[in-house]
Amino acid sequence: MAICITFDTDHMSESNLTRWLDSQPIHGECTFFCGQVYDVLQTTRHEIAPHPFFATNLGQTEILKSYRDLFPDAVSWRSHSLVFSQSICVELQRLGYRNVSISERYADLDAQPIKLPWGPTDFGIYYMDNSDFCNFNEAKDENWKRFDRGMLVQLFETRRAQGEEYVYVFDFHPIHLALNTPSYDAYVSERYSYEANGQVSRMAAKRRGARTYFDELLELMRAHGVSSRSISDVSRTRRA
Model confidence pTM above 0.75: yes
Q: Give mean pLDDT, residues 145-150.
A: 81
Backbone φ and ψ for 17, nearest 5 degrees, come out as -65, -40
| 147 band by pLDDT with thresholds 50, 70 and 90 | confident
pLDDT of residue 119: 87
What pLDDT, in 10s, does the model give residues 53-101? 997 788 999 999 999 999 999 999 999 999 999 999 999 999 999 999 9
Tell me, what CATH number does 28's domain have? 3.20.20.370
The packing angle between helices 210-223 and 149-157, to 10°, is: 20
pLDDT of residue 56: 76
Tally of structural domains, the chain: 1
Domain that holds residue 211: 3-239
Q: Give mean pLDDT, residues 153-161.
A: 80
Q: Give mean pLDDT, residues 154-165.
A: 76
The Cα 93–Cα 181 span in angstroms is 35
What pLDDT, in 10s, does the model give residues 35-49? 999 999 999 999 999
Q: Which region among 131-135, 165-169, 183-187 has the lowest average model confidence (pLDDT)?
A: 131-135
pLDDT top residue among 145 and 64: 64
b/e sequence 165-201, b meaning 16+ C-beta within 10 Å: ebbbbbbbbbbbbbbbbbeeebbeebeeebeeeeeee
Residue 67: partners with Cβ closer than 8 Å, 6 or more residues away: 50, 52
What pLDDT, in 10s, does the model give residues 8-32? 999 999 999 999 999 888 879 999 9
Percent of the chain clearing pLDDT 90 (strictly above)? 64
What pLDDT, in 10s, does the model give residues 119-139? 899 999 999 999 888 776 666
Q: Give mean pLDDT, residues 221-239.
A: 89
